[in-house]
Structure 1
Amino acid sequence: MESVAVIIPCFNAERFLAATVESVLGQGALVDEIVVVDDCSTDGSLEIARCYGDRVRCISLPSNGGISAARNAGIDSVRSGNVLCLDADDQLMPDSLETLRQALDRVPEAGVAFGRFNEFDDSCPQLPPRDYVNQQIDNTPHAVLADQSFLFDDRLFSPLLRGSFIPMGGALIRRDVFETIGRFDESFRVGEDRDFWLRAVRSFRFLCVDRVVMRRRLHADNLTGLKFQHLYHDFNIRHARKMLAAFPDMSEDDRDFITRRAAECCRIFARHYLSEGCPQEARKYATDWAQWMGWNLEARFLYLLSFLSGPLLANVHKGVRMLR
């Protein structure tokens, strides 16, 4: 059996890190390497990681590079044939790594084995499951193997393009995947997992074990919170350009979907910057919107509004509201 490494990228996670590490140590001797990569935390995260002695290796990044940079540093530091990247606020379920590793061993053509996940917060140890996640897994075309696991081919690309439902912390990845498609894209501060899965599924099969393998913690600092909506809009725009360039054979439905999503994000940005009194930024996104979808009436209106200045620009949000 291939060896297993668990990479834990960490930034100011002192409240959660110990429980995360304990959930990995609870997997037993199966785990060959545990690496906590500290991304310039300003709290006690690194000290907590060091308390585990030689059971956990600690890496400190010289500057804050984001979760992709932390994961990549961890991946580059390990020798194991299989890698799992677990966020510092999430937890593995008992025997999860054994389940995932056995799944990969049974299906050599699979590059990734993943499972389902539960969510929890400080007030509730298990929140209701997200129907969307289970529906996407169940409804995407797949082969059902003898052990009732699901084997996916590149038809998984289209559902993943529309929403990420594979938990990074609940997925065991063969090192061959990283060597073939590269590491996580460090230019993305959010959405890096979706980008990685989309690149991987074009070259490898994915295997889903039908059990919960990870607990995902929800809290105010999650990168999935509303305060990071701006980052996700930016990701959708830049990622659309990347996908269209990388996969020119993408289906027309997929091409139309990411084009419209990127255009809508440009529209949102144009309206936002007008209401904030930032005409140059508004003009840029109005122009970008038109490049995606053409110069429709609203794009022209927002573009013209961006040339206003002074008192007129201060009241431009009234004009924006007229578009609702």
Structure 2
Amino acid sequence: MAKISVIIPAYNAEKTIAETIESVQKQSFSDFELIVINDGSKDRTVEILESIQDERLQIFSYENGGVPVARNRGISHATGEFIAFLDADDLWTADKLELQLMALEHNPKAGVAYSWTCFMDVDEQGKPLSFLPSPRYAFSGHVYEKLLVSDFIHNGSNTLIRRQALESTGGFDPTCPGCEDWDYWLRLSTRWYFVVIPQHQILYRRTLGGMSSKVEAMKKVALIAMEKAYQAAPPELQYLKNSTMVSFHIYFAGLYLQHRGDTSGISQAQQHLWSAICLKPQVLLDKTTQKLFIKLLLKLILPAKVANYFLQLMKKPLTLSDPRLEA
């Protein structure tokens, strides 16, 4: 029986699955089982998986059910004392499992360990264009209220979870596709403490060309998940919904500015920023909001090519060796 079960849902992941699994194989902690749930792939995903020589790798194939269902199926096969999830297009740094496991073993009351995320923007061929580190949140202990305001864990490839915590919470909710992660972290945080590893250990892949068509769908799902979250929240925390809406508007203003350069996208970004400011004027003091405001002004005032030129200058792309990624 392995100490850790790593669960990877995979659907038509032929372009990235080998690199993702390689990042698991390179872990400094090696006592793990690697469970891949082939979620009805129609491409060469299974062929690539079957070519990998590693006795820790197990492949289970099902009809397509979506990420929440695939993760739940993976849990049913897992035997480890701790469970980690990794999406088929994301990567881990080599010390991810080791440091998260160490944190949980040193904090027996904690049920979940998480790290910082680095967003890796790639082109349609998967070539990295830039690396953008997430904010360095250091929330530990009882984090339910913080999570209710904003999903600071950022993605489903982040956490390491005790089996007892996972079993006490149930599975991922298939009715929340796209926001099943936030929903699950919230349910875990009502029962268990969280502990943070203050390092960027998750590389979250974003295909820039593929995001523009997804923003509207993501927004609808986020609103549904938000309503579910506050239906479950106790009366004394209902006042936080205003702050959650501010986080929602800031997040989607950023998505529209980054992935929708057309007139409609810029207009949506402007509406979201204005809504956030109306709800909480102090948000203008936040550096993230200020940067978004500058980007919006550039796109509103300057011709598209000129605006994009200045936006590229603002980006300051990182590399994996950049010291700005260090804790």
TM-score normalized by the length of structure 2: 0.67
Match of 1:196 in 2: 184
1:219 to 207, 215, 218: 207
- Give the 3-state SS of the residue equivalent to 2:9 in structure 1: strand
Q: Do 2:150 and 2:247's aligned partners in 1 also have CA atoms closer than 8 Å?
A: no
* Aligned Cα root-mean-square deviation (Å): 2.7
Q: Do 1:2 and 1:82's aligned partners in 2 also have CA atoms closer than 8 Å?
A: no
Q: Do 1:66 and 1:189's aligned partners in 2 also have CA atoms closer than 8 Å?
A: yes
Q: Are residues 87 and 250 of structure 1, via their aligned partners in 2, closer, same or farther at CA, if it must alter by over 3 Å?
A: farther
- For residues 190-215 of structure 1, give each alpha carbon's deviation from its aligned partner in whole angstroms, at most 9, with x where no partner exists: 01111111111111111111112221
Aligned residue type for 2:26: G
Match of 2:214 in 1: 228
Distance (whole Å) between structure 2 residues aligned to residue 101 and residue 262 of structure 1 = 32
Distance (whole Å) between structure 2 residues aligned to residue 31 and residue 204 of structure 1 = 25
Where in structure 1 are there 5+ consecutive unaligned residues?
A: 143-150, 264-324
Match of 1:35 in 2: 35
Matched, 1:61 2:47: no
Q: Are residues 261 and 32 of structure 1, via their aligned partners in 2, closer, same or farther at CA, if it must alter by over 3 Å?
A: closer
Higher-Rg member (1/2): 1
Q: Do 1:33 and 1:80's aligned partners in 2 also have CA atoms closer than 8 Å?
A: yes
Matched, 1:183 2:183: no
1:237 to 195, 200, 223: 223
- For residues 119-177 of structure 1, give each alpha carbon's deviation from its aligned partner in whole angstroms, at most 9, with x where no partner exists: 223444751324xx32xx14xxx5xxxxxxxx3313x4334433443443221111112
Q: Matched residues, percent identical?
A: 27
- For residues 233-252 of structure 1, give each alpha carbon's deviation from its aligned partner in whole angstroms, at most 9, with x where no partner exists: 33233223322332233513
Distance (whole Å) between structure 1 residues aligned to residue 12 and residue 131 of structure 2 = 24
Distance (whole Å) between structure 2 residues aligned to residue 100 and residue 77 of structure 1 = 22
Q: Are residues 166 and 152 of structure 1, via their aligned partners in 2, closer, same or farther at CA, if it must alter by over 3 Å?
A: farther
Match of 1:104 in 2: 104
TM-score normalized by the length of structure 1: 0.68
Q: Do 1:111 and 1:173's aligned partners in 2 also have CA atoms closer than 8 Å?
A: yes
Match of 1:267 in 2: none
Structure 1 runs, 4 residues or longer, greater than 6 Å off: 259-263
- Give the 3-state SS of the residue equivalent to 1:152 in structure 2: coil
Aligned residue type for 1:58: I
Where in structure 2 are there 5+ consecutive unaligned residues?
A: 250-327
